[in-house]
Amino acid sequence: MTHRAGKGTGREPVGKKTPDNKAAVGDTGSGAEAEAVSVLKRELQEKITSLTEANRQLKRKIFDLYTIFEISRNFNAVLDYHQLLDTFMYTSLAQVGASKAAVYLERGRRDGVFLVAKHKGSGDFPADEAAFNSGTVLVDYLTRLNRPALTGDLMGEIANEVERGILEKFHPGLVVPLIFRSRLGGLLLISEKISNREFSMDDIEFLSILGNKISVAIENTRLYEAENRASQQLRAAQEQLVHSERLAALGEMSAKVAHEINNPLGIIKNYILLIRKAAGENEETVGYAEILSQEIERIARIVKELLDFHRPKGIEFQKVDVALILNDVLLLMERQMENKRIRLDRRYEPDCPKVEGSPESLKQVFLNIVINAFDVMSTGGTLGISVSCDEDEVVIRFNDTGPGIPPEIIPRIFEPFFTTKEPGKGTGLGLSVCYGIIRQHDGSITYRNTDDGGCFEVRLPAVRAVG
């Protein structure tokens, strides 16, 4: 009512007062007075509008801050990397009302290559292999800027061709650098709003704060995962230690038993000879003596292998070329290789250093491994043998295309007497002998299943070139 009364009433006679309330006070007075009142009113109206707007913004800020608060509390509690990224992206998309987004992060090692870690929403996305690389103008710029930037501002001069290709898929949109301790940890790319409106300062502010929070959280999950990996490795190393100790103890015990068996074995052999002699023409007794003799031979073989496992210290060590020893072994196996239709694939890295070792013992190791491989490739296959040099080790790998080994029995294959072969076929000593010998050489022997078979890996310390 006051409003209506005020409009165009500037010419009303001076002094005519409205009997009404105080709010209508401006409706009375002279023309100038009325004019002033109307100006005041307009100003008041503007103030109200701007206050309403400020209030609205404040409410949104509070809401944003509350969301950020809630999310970062959630971020800090989440230790799973993927779950963290999911939450981050859904929140970003929902909050600014955009249709799609992608997060680019460094994988595994920090090699400065930022590949897409996750994308969400609908539409066209860049190819998975398209990456941002640290050190480019764009990446340096965003790191320094440490705030979201519009794709449009980056696509001109700043981005290189690959980067432009990625940005185009989100244009017109925003790029949010995820900075942790002044280092770029990743990038969030977010496309235009579904409403087609421009991004507001609030959107940018929100994403900027959220980006900072997520960088810290990502770093936390990374640390957590790294710690997990480290403790897993430690556990594996401990298990390996216990395992080697057990094997060593087993080997020692077997060798002692073998030693004890050796003496009576010699006596038994002599008595068999005597029995044979005494049997004269009695074929039945001669036959029994023959069987006895064969079985005794078998025992003697096992005993010999057991003794090999624990050779007296001080076997002759010399500088040896592993490749030459391998070739000797393979020469022995040539005939069998043909018969079993096994293809040989030799790859020796040239100029590998020599190793300090006993040629005879190493020959025995390689022979055992090759024979095992032949045994599992009964219907043919490929035996790949490679020699390469690591920093201070010579690495020999034997890859077969056999069936591999069930994971649950892999830990047992180096134990003495462990065999999966039929009785009479295997003694289960081959690999334990290998293990003992390689240990004497300060090396390691391990097995792992591969995509198409199995792989034994022998590592021996390389002899350093003098000078």
Ligand X SMILES: Nc1ncnc2c1ncn2[C@@H]1O[C@H](COP(=O)(O)OP(=O)(O)O)[C@@H](O)[C@H]1O
Which of Mg ion, ligand X, none does residue 402 bind to, with CB < 5 to 8 Å depending on kind? ligand X
Is 363:328 a contact under the CB 8 Å cutoff?
yes
Selected binder of ligand X within 95, 221, 372, 399 (CB under 6 A)? 372
Can residue 342 be called a binding residue for ligand X (CB under 6 A)?
A: no
Binding region for ligand X (CB under 6 A) out of 25-33, 56-64, 71-79, 371-379: 371-379
Closest approach, Cβ 364 to ligand X, in A, equals 12
Nearer to Mg ion, 89 or 431 (CB): 431
Which of Mg ion, ligand X, none does residue 270 bind to, with CB < 5 to 8 Å depending on kind? none
Cα 464 to Cα 467: distance, rounded to the nearest angstrom:
9
Letters for 416-455 (x = contact with ligand X by CB under 6 A, - = none) are --xxxx----xxxxxxx---------------------x-
Selected binder of ligand X within 214, 400, 437, 441 (CB under 6 A)? 400
Which of ligand X, Mg ion, none does residue 148 bind to, with CB < 5 to 8 Å depending on kind? none
CB atoms within 10 A of CB 440: 17
341: left (phi over 0), alpha (psi -120 to 50) or beta: left
Is 123:191 a contact under the CB 8 Å cutoff?
yes
Closest approach, Cβ 431 to Mg ion, in A, equals 6
* Alpha carbon separation from 78 to 104, 145, 228 (Å, rounded): 19, 28, 15
Task: Give the burial class of 19: count Cβ atoms within 10 A of its Cβ; 0-12 exposed, 13-18 middle, 19 or more buried.
Answer: exposed
Selected binder of Mg ion within 430, 436, 443, 453 (CB under 5 A)? 430
How are the residues of the chain apportioned to helix, strand and coil, as percentages rounded to the nearest 5? 55, 20, 30
Tell me how far apart the terminal alpha carbons of the chain are, to the nearest angstrom: 105
Nearer to ligand X, 130 or 410 (CB): 410
- Residue 434 tokens, joined: 């290998």
Letters for 340-379 (x = contact with Mg ion by CB under 5 A, - = none) are --------------------------------x-------
Selection from 258, 171, 186, 272 nearest residue 433 by Cα? 258
* Interface residues toward ligand X, by CB under 6 A: 368, 372-373, 376, 400, 402, 405, 413, 418-421, 426-432, 454
